[in-house]
Amino acid sequence: MRVVEKTQLMSATEIDRTLQRLAHEIVEKSGGVANLALIGIRRRGVPLAQRIARAMHGIEHAEIPVGTLDITLYRDDLSKIAAQPVLHSSEISFPVDDKDVLLVDDVLYTGRTARAAMNGLFDLGRPSRVRMAVLIDRGHRELPIEASFVGRSVQTSDREIVEVRLNETDGEERVMLVERVE
Amino acid sequence: MLLIKNGRVIDPASGTDAKRDIWIDGSRISRIVPAETQAASSPSTNGETLDATSLVVAPGFIDLHCHLREPGGESSETIETGTRAAACGGFTAVCPMPNTRPVNDNASVTRSILERAAAVAATHVWPIGAASTGSRGESLAEIGAMQKAGIVAVSDDGHPIATAKLLRQVMDYCRALDLPVVDHCEDSSLFAGAVMREGVQSVRLGLRGMPAATESIAVGRDVQMTELTGCRFHVAHLSARGSLDLVRAAKKRGLQVSCEVTPHHFTLTDEDVVYDTRFKMNPPLASAEDRAALIEGLADGTVDAIATDHAPHEAALKDVEFDRAPFGVIGFETALALALELVHSGRLSLMRMVELFTIGPARVLGKKRAIAPGEAADLTIFSADHPWMFHVKQSASKSTNTPFEGRKFRGAPMVTIVDGRIVYRRET
Amino acid sequence: MAERLRDLLSIEELTAGQIAFLLDEAKPFQEFQRHPLKKLATLRGKTVALAFFESSTRTRISFATAASRLGADTMNLQAESSSLKKGESLLDTARTLDAMKPDCIVMRHSSSGSADFVARHLDIPVINAGDGTHEHPTQALLDALTIRDRRGTMENLNVTIIGDILHSRVARSNLHLLSHFGCRFTLCGPAMWLPREFECFGKQVRRSTRIEEALEGADVVMVLRVQQERLHEPALPLDEYILLYQLTPERLRLARPDALVLHPGPMIRGLEIDPAVADGPQSCVLEQVTNGLAVRMALLFVLIATGSEADEARGAHAAH
C-alpha cells in the first residue's frame, strides 16, 4: 500500500494556537481544575497532553498531573493484525478514583481507541468524570463516542488518513491529509 | 540359463577385477570367460542375457546382522518384506537375529523361520540362534539342536551376553560345535536409561548419554574370554575407537576375533542427533573420532564386515518422545550407497568394499563366497555411479525409520541374483 | 523485531533481539500486577490448554493466573489425571486436547524434547514449561527480568549456578539466555553432575567443584533445587551436599556485596540454601514469582493475542 500526501491541514503555528485555545476552553468548562488530570493516549496523545497541561499551568498557575495510557491490551482488533505489537507501560502516578479525567489524543475517528482507553482507565479505578480532547475530529464514528474539546473538525473519506506529526514523536510539526493508493 | 555380459567382475576370493562374461546354469555358476571373447564360442543361450556393461558384478552380498521381526513383530516387518528389502539393497543372504517373539532359542522356532523363508524369502536366510534361553542370560539355549536345524551363529543380540560366567559356558559349548559367538557388547550399568552417546550433544539436548566405555568394557571382557576358551568371537555393530583398538590387538595376538560396522556408524555422528527418533539406535551414533577410526578400520582390515543391523519399527512405535522410542533404524537399501561414499571419497578401494560385503562376512560364518564355476549363483550387480535419491516411501521394508530420507547417492544395486534367479532388478 | 514467535520451545533457538523483546513486553505486565482490578479482556474468548504431565504447582498456577488475568479460559490436564495412568500416549493426549481447539498449549513433561515433539504434530503454539532436563524457557526469562530490574542490567555479569547442573533445565536455559549478553558463568556442584561438555555452552563457562572458589566475584548466584525425584542413580548423601554446597551467609559473603541470590523454587530451607540467605536482603525469590507472572502474561499475549484472523485470511497455518 502506498500513501500519497494530499494537503496540509495544519501548520506548526496553527497547532500551537489550537492547543492554546483548547487549554483555555478546558479551563473555562471544567468548573475548577483542582481535581483535573490529563491522560494522554499513546503515542501522540502523550506530547499533546503535556503541552496542554503546560498551557493550562500558564493560565491557572496550577500543576495539572499528566499520565500516559497504552491501549494495546484493550484493543478490539488484535486478531486482525499479523505483526506483533509492541507493548508499552501505562504510567499514571496519581489515583484515578474520583478524579476528573480528560483523555487526550491526536485524532478521533471511529471511537474504538477512546473505548479501549476508557476500559483501561476503569481498570485503574472509578473516575468522577471522563471527557475527551482531540486535536482533529475526522468523523466516521462507529461507536457512540464524542469529544468535548475539538481542535478542528475535518471531512474525510475512508481512503484518507489524517497524520498528526509532532516534534516529540516525528521530528516535524504539522498535520497532513494523506491518501491510500493501490 | 542366464548370461551376464561384459560386467566388471570384482571377486575378492581370487583377486579378480576384470571384465568377464558369466554363465549361470540353474542355481550354479557354470562358466566364466573374459568379456572380449566373442559370442561364437558360447553355447546356445535359451535363457536371458543381462547386459552388465558399466556395472560391477560381485559375489552375492551377505548381511551378518539384521532383524526380520517374524515371528511376533510382523507389523514392523516380515521375512517376506524384509528379505525383499534386502534384495533391493543387493543382499543375497541375511542373518536374522533371534530377538523375535518367541525368541529363536530352540529348534522348532528355527525350523519355522526357515520354512517360512523357503516359502517367501527373496534371499537366503541364515538365522542366528539365541545364546541363552529367551536371551534372558540365565541358562544355555538349545544350541546344538538349533545348529542341526540351521543356525549359523549364536547371540543374545538386543542384550549383551549377561555375565562372564555365562559367556564362558556359551563359548566353551560353541567352540566344540564350531559356531561363532556374536556379542552385542554393552555394560548394562553404564547403559541403563541412556538414549544416545554421552557428549556435547547429549548435554545440550538434555538426553541421558552413555560413554564409549559402555561398549569397549564389554569387548575387553569378551576378548579375554575368547583367549580363555578358543572360541570364535564376533563383535556386533562395533561403534567405538576403544573397541576397535581391542579387536586390532586381539587379532595381532592371533585370536579368532572379528567385528562388523554398520553404515550409519561410519556415516553419522552424535552431532547429527536431534529430537528425531530416526536417529536413535543402539549402539548410538558415536563421536567424530570414533567415526574416523571406524573408517580407518574398514580400510586396514581390522573390520571384517559391513552389516546393516536393519532394525525396523513400525511408525506408531517410533513416533513418540525420544526417550520412549525403541532403538533401531532400517538399513538394507542404503548400505551399498553409503559404502560407495567411502569409495568415492578415496578412503576405501572398491575391491576392499566388496570384501566387506562378501568374503569378510563369509569368513566369520566359516563359509565361502566366490565367483567361480561350480559356486552358488549368488551375485550382486551394482552401479558405482548411478545418481539417485533415497525415498523411504519407495522402500520395500514395512517400516520407515531411516536417518537417510532424502539423501542423494551415487551408486546403487542394480540386479540381485540368488541361486541363479533374479530377485531384484532396479527400474531406471 | 525479526521473526514473529510462533512457539516458545527453548531459549537456545531465540535471538538476543527476541529475548529483549519478550522482556520489554513483560514490563507493562509487571505494572499491571499492581492494579486494583487485575482482569483484562485482551484474550477474551481464547483458551489456553495447560498440559502438565509432570507435576508442578507453582508453574502451573502461574500460567493459569496469567491466562486468567488476560481474560482467557484454561483447560487443565494434570499428572494425576486418569487418562495418563491408563497409558494414553503423549501424542494421543496432545491430539485429544487439540481437538477441543485451544489457542495454545502450555506443557511440562519429563522427556527432553517432548515440547518439540508435540509442536511438530500440532498447528497451535506450544509453550515449553519444562521438558525433561532440557529447558525451562520462562524460568530463564523471569530470572533475566529479575536481574535486569535489580541490577539495572543483565550484561557482562558473573553468574554462578550451584547444584545438579547435569539434570537442570533451569541451568541450561539460563546459560543460553545470559550468554547472549556477555555474562560469564561458573558452574558449581559435585563432579558427577558437572560434565566437561558444559564448557561448550558459551564463550565464558567454567566449572568448579568448590563452592568457595565458585562464589568469588559473583554478581548473581543461582541456587538449584536438589531434585530427589530425578535421581535414578546413587545419589549424594544429603548431609554431604549440605556440607559442601549449601549457600550459607558466610559463603555468600565471598560473592560481591550486592550479589543477587536467585532460586527457581520450591526451596528446601536448610538443604541447598540457608534460611537466613533465603529471607535475606539479597534474595530475589519473591520478585522472581511476580516476574514469572508478568513474563507468562507477555508470552501468552505475544503468541495468541494477534493474528488469528489475519493468519486465516492469508490461508496460513502456524505450521512447522
pLDDT tens-place string over residues B404-414 = 999 999 999 99
Min distance A77 CA to chain C CA atoms (Å) = 8
Domain boundaries, chain B: 2-57+375-425, 61-365
Look at C187 and B427; give whichever has higher pLDDT.
C187
Report cis status (omega within 30 of 0) of the bond before C102. no
For residue C307, pLDDT over 90 is answered with no
For residue B39, pLDDT over 60 is answered with no
State the pLDDT confidence band at B221, using cuts at 50, 70 and 90. Answer: very high
The pLDDT value recorded for residue C238 is 86
Which residue type occupies B416?
T
Cα A39 off chain centre by: 9
For residue B315, pLDDT over 50 is answered with yes
Determine the residue among A87, A90, A93, A115 to mutate to test chain C binding: the one whose Cβ has the most chain C Cβ atoms within 10 Å.
Answer: A87
Phi, psi of A67, deg, nearest 5: -120, 170
CATH 3.40.190.10 describes domain C16-136+289-313: no
Q: For C131-175, how does the pLDDT look when each residue is reduced to its tens digit (9 = 90+)?
A: 999 999 999 999 999 999 999 999 999 999 999 999 999 999 999
Among the listed residues A141, A139, A117, A146, the one whose alpha carbon sits nearest the alpha carbon of residue A38: A117
In the predicted model, residues of chain A with pLDDT beneath 50 are: none
Active site residues of B: 309
State the pLDDT confidence band at B38, using cuts at 50, 70 and 90. Answer: low
Q: Which of A70, A79, A86 sits opposite C309 (nearest CB)?
A: A79
CA nearest to C195 within chain B? B203
Q: What is the CATH number of domain B61-365?
A: 3.20.20.140
CA nearest to B317 within chain C? C89
CATH superfamily of C137-284: Aspartate/ornithine carbamoyltransferase (3.40.50.1370)
Q: For B68-117, how does the pLDDT look when each residue is reduced to its tens digit (9 = 90+)?
A: 999 999 999 999 999 999 999 999 999 999 999 999 999 999 999 999 99
Average pLDDT, chain C: 91
The pLDDT value recorded for residue C319 is 39
DSSP H stretches of helix in B181-333: 188-191, 200-205, 213-229, 241-252, 263-267, 288-300, 315-318
CB contact under 8 A, C306 and A83: yes
| Contact (Cβ atoms closer than 8 angstroms) between residue C138 and residue C127 | yes
CB contact under 8 A, C112 and B205: yes
Which residue type occupies C214?
A
State the pLDDT confidence band at B36, using cuts at 50, 70 and 90. Answer: confident
Chain C CB contacts of B202 below 8 Å: 197
- Percent of chain B at pLDDT > 90 equals 96
For residue C317, pLDDT over 50 is answered with no
Q: Does C172 touch chain B (CB under 8 A)?
A: yes
Chains C and A touch (3+ CB pairs under 8 A): yes
For B243-255, what is the mean pLDDT? 98
Tell me if domain C16-136+289-313 and domain C137-284 are identical in fold.
yes
Determine the residue among C53, C197, C205, C232 to mutate to test chain B binding: the one whose Cβ has the most chain B Cβ atoms within 10 Å.
Answer: C197
The pLDDT value recorded for residue A32 is 87
Phi, psi of C302, deg, nearest 5: -65, -40
Chain B CB contacts of C166 below 8 Å: 203
For residue C244, pLDDT over 90 is answered with yes
Min distance C43 CA to chain A CA atoms (Å) = 9
Identify the weakest region by mean pLDDT among B68-82, C30-44, C72-86: C72-86
For residue C313, pLDDT over 60 is answered with no
CB contact under 8 A, C31 and A90: yes
For C270-279, what is the mean pLDDT? 95
Domain boundaries, chain C: 16-136+289-313, 137-284
Number of residue pairs across B and C with CB atoms under 8 Å?
A: 57
Q: For B147-169, how does the pLDDT look when each residue is reduced to its tens digit (9 = 90+)?
A: 999 999 999 999 999 999 999 99
Cα Rg of chain A, angstroms: 16
State the pLDDT confidence band at B44, using cuts at 50, 70 and 90. Answer: low
Min distance B395 CA to chain C CA atoms (Å) = 24
Min distance C196 CA to chain A CA atoms (Å) = 40
Q: How far apart are CA C313 and CA C294, in angstroms?
A: 31
Q: How far apart are CA B116 and CA B78, in angstroms?
A: 10
Residue A168 CB partners (closer than 8 Å, separation 6+): A46, A47
Q: What is the CATH number of domain B2-57+375-425?
A: 2.30.40.10
CB contact under 8 A, A89 and C42: no
CA nearest to B207 within chain C? C112
ipTM of the complex, rounded to two decimals: 0.87
CB contact under 8 A, C134 and B200: no
The pLDDT value recorded for residue C311 is 65
For residue C318, pLDDT over 50 is answered with no
The pLDDT value recorded for residue C320 is 33
For C258-266, what is the mean pLDDT? 95
Average pLDDT, chain B: 96
Number of residue pairs across A and C with CB atoms under 8 Å?
A: 67
Domains of chain A, start order: 16-77+86-156 (3.40.50.2020)
